[in-house]
Structure formats: structure tokens, C-alpha cells
Amino acid sequence: MRVTKHEHAYLTIENSGETLVIDPGGFVPDLGELDNVTAVVITHEHPDHWTPAHLERLAADFPGVPMFTTAATADKASVDMTVVAPGDAVTAGSFRLRFFGGTHNEIHSSIPLIDNIGVLVDDQLYYPGDSYAVPEGIEVPMLAAPIGAPWLKIGEAMDFVLAVSPGQAFGTHDMPLSAVGLKMHRERLRWATAQGGGTFHELDAGDTIEL
């Protein structure tokens, strides 16, 4: 399995000649070259995780590709999407997807909470979307950990990594951070990952890692 971190929350996972696309949002200028996309996951409705244009391009380039998301996101999209919820498990191409969580982390008490799904890919990579939902009782070889957001407090992000205790981790959801802030947050998550014996990787947009 090959994981590529793109801008902000956009990830692609390649395995057995197939590609899974996760959260190509508004901070992503171009989806880049994609081959044999067999599934798309959108964790929630916020525009930094999807845009109509990106989903329409994926639907046009890969007709019939299944797209999994929350009910609110499916209602807003102009393409066909499949609604999933925490506890669901699906197979798309060679990818096995299990969904966790349920609620976006609170930004502020004045802002209504929305649905959010985390996804575990092939029991190898876990990405929680905009939440600290822990896949209880599951060993996580690789964690894509949110590292910067209006809702994120670094101490809580560290506690999330400590709770998951992944074998490896890297930071995602990083566009709100300055270069200095990103370095500081990476060091905090590096420490948290190391407490469980894991390794933290510094991935910038376009960097890849093999599992």
C-alpha cells in the first residue's frame, strides 16, 4: 500500500493497481494524475474536504466510482454518493473500508455540530476526518493525524495519538498552520507517537509512504 499526502486533508492510497481518494477539498488546486480510482471517501460536509468541481471531475473520469460520505454531504453534492455511518463496512474494488466516529469535533459552542466519519482502510491506515474518534480495540499500523485546525488544541491531538498508539503516523489537515506552527505541532505528535513505540513521519504535500 502506498499513501500519498496531498494539500491539507487530501490523501490518495494506491494498492494492487487501484486508487482510493479521500477528502479532496478546497485547498487542493488540482487533483493531479489519478489512475484507476475505485472509491472516494468524503469524511464530512465542510468545503476544505470536498468541492463540487473535484467530485464532478472524479465522476466524469471514473464513471460509476462509488463515493462514500455522510447524509449531509450527499444532499449537497451534484453527483451520486453512498451514505455510510459509523459501524458500516464496505468493499470497493480491492479496498476494504470500515467507518468510525460520527461527529465533527466542536469548533465552538455557537456552531452546530455536524456528522463526520473516520475511515480505516484495509486495516492498515486510519484517518479520522475532523474528529478524535478512536477505533477502539483495533491495532492501527498507520495513523493520518489531524495537526492543525480551528477546532484543534494540540494537547487534545496528542491525547488522540496516545489513545490510538499507532505503529506509524503523519500529520494531515495542516493548511491553517504557519511553517513555525507546523514544526512545533509535528514535534508534539512525534513525542505522542513515540510513547507507544511508533514512528512519526514528516510528510509534505506530494510526499509518499509505503505500508
Query: For the segment 46-71, what is each residue's pLDDT rounded down to a tens digit?
Result: 999 999 999 999 999 999 999 999 99
> 95 CB contacts (<8 Å, ≥6 apart)?
13, 15, 18, 20, 38, 39, 121, 122
Determine, yes or no, domain membership for 209: no
Grid cell 476544505 is found at 48
pLDDT at 119: 98
Instruction: Check residue 182 and give its pLDDT.
Output: 98
The tens digit of pLDDT for each residue in 178-188 reads: 999 999 999 99
Q: Is residue 60 part of a domain?
A: yes
**Residue 63, pLDDT score:** 97
- The 10s digit of each residue's pLDDT in 103-119 is 999 999 999 999 999 99
Q: Which domain holds residue 122?
A: 2-201
In a domain, 206, yes or no: no
pLDDT, residue 186, reads 98
What is the count of structural domains for the chain?
1
Q: 92 falls in which pLDDT band (50, 70, 90)?
A: very high
Cβ(118)–Cβ(135) below 8 Å: yes
Q: Is residue 207 in some structural domain? A: no
The CATH number for 78's domain is: 3.60.15.10
- Give the 3-state secondary structure of the chain: CEEEECCCCCEEEEECCEEEEECCCCCCCCCCCCCCEEEEECCCCCCCCCCHHHHHHHHHHCCCCCEEECHHHHHHCCCCCEECCCCCEEEECCEEEEEEEEECCCCCCCCCCCEEEEEEECCCEEECCCCCCCCCCCCCCEEEEECCCCCCCHHHHHHHHHHHCCCEEEEECCCCCCHHHHHHHHHHHHHHHHHCCCEEECCCCCCEEEC
210 found inside a domain:
no
pLDDT at 175: 96
pLDDT of residue 144: 98
Averaged confidence pLDDT in the chain? 97
Predicted pLDDT at 165: 98
> Quick check: is 208 in a domain?
no
